Amino acid sequence: AQSVTQLGSHVSVSEGALVLLRCNYSSSVPPYLFWYVQYPNQGLQLLLKYTSAATLVKGINGFEAEFKKSETSFHLTKPSAHMSDAAEYFCAVSDSGGGADGLTFGKGTHLIIQP
Amino acid sequence: NAGVTQTPKFQVLKTGQSMTLQCAQDMNHNSMYWYRQDPGMGLRLIYYSASEGTTDKGEVPNGYNVSRLNKREFSLRLESAAPSQTSVYFCASTSAGTGRFFGPGTRLTVL
């Protein structure tokens, strides 16, 4: 069985500050890992994905995430927060590349950007 | 490309009423999914269809039925709506090697 834990249901940072959203996973096989973003009243949009290539993955809008097997973590970072980054962020894990076997989502982290 | 489209965007039902949520994708994806999103619960898989002609239960299938009408369309039916089914419903699609693409959601309230 696979599972995802996102630490902190709400994270608040100042505009221009570092964004760090934490995600830890468990999986019985080498995992595929994803970060999704959901803006208010919209569906989820893929930010980035890890599929066993480079451990540092770059995504859209300046976000990146690092896969650390020893820590079973896949934290999401952005060097400088913008107001437009305010959204809900979901980490997800799959043991099949996110295909027909399904994707297990974390409960989400709401990112608040303070002016 | 429109991506994944869902209808309706909003719906209010009375307990016991039935309705069908429609989903269509124009990306020629093989797999399609229905999720529900509730505050503090993340997304939970209701049903999925790995390919045209197949459907399988997800984490929370009770009270729902699905139909994979063709490769493009995957509908979700509530036969007798209950207040516990008040939620935001998302359809998604994918093929091997692609990320999962989500529709804009249907906001359902059951009174």
What pLDDT was estimated at residue A100? 54
Indicate whether B92 pLDDT > 90.
yes
What pLDDT was estimated at residue A34? 92
- Is B95's CB within 8 Å of A99's CB? yes
| A37-51, B34-48, B94-108: segment of lowest average pLDDT | B94-108
- Is B100's CB within 8 Å of A97's CB? no
B50 closest CA partner among A91, A98, A105: A98
Residues of A in contact with B4 (CB under 8 A): 43
Average pLDDT over residues B69-98: 92
Write out pLDDT tens, residues A21-45: 999 998 777 788 999 999 988 899 9
Q: How many CB atoms neighbour CB A29 within 10 A?
A: 9
- Is A102's CB within 8 Å of B105's CB? no
Mean pLDDT of chain B: 93
Distance CA A97, CA B1 (A): 24
Residue A109 near chain B (CB below 8 Å):
no
What pLDDT was estimated at residue A47? 94
Interface of A with B in 5-44 (CB under 8 A): 9, 34, 36, 41-44
Write out pLDDT tens, residues A70-110: 999 999 999 999 999 999 999 998 876 555 556 889 999 99
